[in-house]
A and B are shown apart, each in its own frame.
Chain A
Amino acid sequence: MGCFLTNSSVGKKLVMSISGCFLVLFILFHMSMNLTMLFSREGYNLICEFLGANWYALAGTALLAAGVAVHFIYAFILTLDNYRARGKQRYAVTVQEKGVSWASKNMLVLGIIVILGLGLHLVHFWSKMQLTEILGHHTFELELNGATENISVANGALLMAYTFSNPINLALYLVWFVALWFHLTHGVWSMFQTVGWANDTWYPRLKCIANIVATLIFLGFAVVAVMCYINSEAYIAEALELQLLAY
């Protein structure tokens, strides 16, 4: 078993498929969580508190990190295999084949953009929230209106509004979401093909499902980021008030 998952081309692809499926499910969960921000900043903070440095959240984070690592490492192993298989001599003339999507040929590049975006996201949010709590602190410092404020690690609403009040951050996150959209338009239907759950009747349906999932995820994340940018002042004021009431 272990052998075919590491030595066989189909086995390695199965690992990519299952880890990818797990990551898509997590992204859908994260997106649903983020959407709460649009309706209730208080509700969003309650979720942040629930997913702090508790044992289940830490176990989930470790599992997620493992999923990302496996997906990323296998992507590099497969790409390296494929590079060798292609040979040193390349075609002088190449064309875009009919029906072949651009995303399907650039999954690694898109994946690298997604990973870079994830790094930025961890610096902006995870390092200030869950990591701070793991290190035994309950607040982090934030520059607000020229003064340094101590913000609760569970005040995700304030941190999100603060982060997206900066248009550069908003632009970087939108690029990240677009790369994720492209990655998922191929990745989602491809995982069904890899496990063998596909045929000529289902290809158009699977590709349609992939486009819907990718678009829902893009819109779900992008809408929250844009709304935070537009309403940043109001959201920050409201989140500061919530913190005063809570502590």
Chain B
Amino acid sequence: MNFTLKIWRQRDAKSQGAFETYKVTDISADTSFLEMMDILNNNLIHEGKEPVAFDHDCREGICGMCSMHINGHAHGPSQAVTTCQMYMRKFKDGSTIVIEPWRSAAFPVIRDLVVDRGAYDKILQAGGFISVRTNSVPDGNAIPIPKKDADESMDAAACVGCGACAATCKNGSAMLFVAARVSSLAKLPQGKVEGARRAKAMVAKMDELGFGNCTNTGACQAQCPKSISIAHIARLNREFLCAKLQD
């Protein structure tokens, strides 16, 4: 398969970026998107040009590093997968693929397709953890958790913190990410203890870092590689409002 790639190139955070066009040829349909990017970079290095900088790590949909906006979709046109899990057979032979970095004021571009997602780490540091003493690992059946709650917690915990939600949202809102973190802990007995403090602290940090306000479009859910539901946003709203009303 052959493709024309229009890729955003930007030297550093302060430089003006622009699209540059490249051709890749003889790409197997079973090549993953990141492997295709590796092939392109290999070609560029052989030509004595700068390779395209892009984030990647596990390449199996766990780490959430491969943040690319491809043909108008966060993580590309495949549903519920990260960029690294997408294959070139998803694209039409001979087509043009436009690749951009996440666009959100809270995720500044560092270089080419790499953005600084440190804002998500700061939100997590504000309260996305359990600090109550839980001692050693308890017996599996010592704290019974209803199956429904365990499932909901696990669904929320599937969030890989890739940033696709804020990058997709027309308001640059990080609500789905914060909601997933709050929800995954709020549904467990160990996490309930600090539920109110966590919701308030994480929302306050999210606002402070300049993320936008959720207007319930549901675009984040549609583009999330882990299909996190906006029902978690409803739970975050509930947790936050109850906590504030109890103050």
Residues of A within 8 A of B (CB): 1, 4, 7-14, 78, 81-82, 84-95, 97-101, 104-105, 107, 186, 189-190, 193-200, 203
Contacts and interface: CB of A to CB of B under 8 A. Distances in A.
B212 A82 contact: yes
B240 to A, nearest CB: 5
B170 A93 contact: no
A105 B170 contact: yes
A199 B172 contact: no
Given A9-B206, A9-B207, A200-B229, A78 B172 contact: no
List the 6 closest A-B pairs by CB distance, nearest first: A196-B238, A85-B212, A85-B172, A82-B171, A95-B72, A87-B105
B103 A90 contact: yes
Interface in B92-131: 98, 100, 103-106, 109
A101 B171 CA distance: 15
B241 interface: yes
B82 to A, nearest CB: 17
B120 to A, nearest CB: 14
Contacts of B72: 91, 93-95
10 contacts: A1-B244, A1-B247, A9-B203, A85-B172, A86-B105, A91-B69, A100-B217, A194-B216, A200-B229, A203-B231
B105 A82 contact: no
A92 to B, nearest CB: 6
Given A14-B241, A82-B212, A190-B216, A87 B104 contact: yes
Nearest to A17: B237
B215 A82 contact: yes
Given A10-B236, A95-B71, A196-B234, 10 more contacts: A14-B237, A78-B215, A82-B172, A82-B213, A82-B215, A84-B212, A85-B211, A86-B103, A97-B168, A98-B79
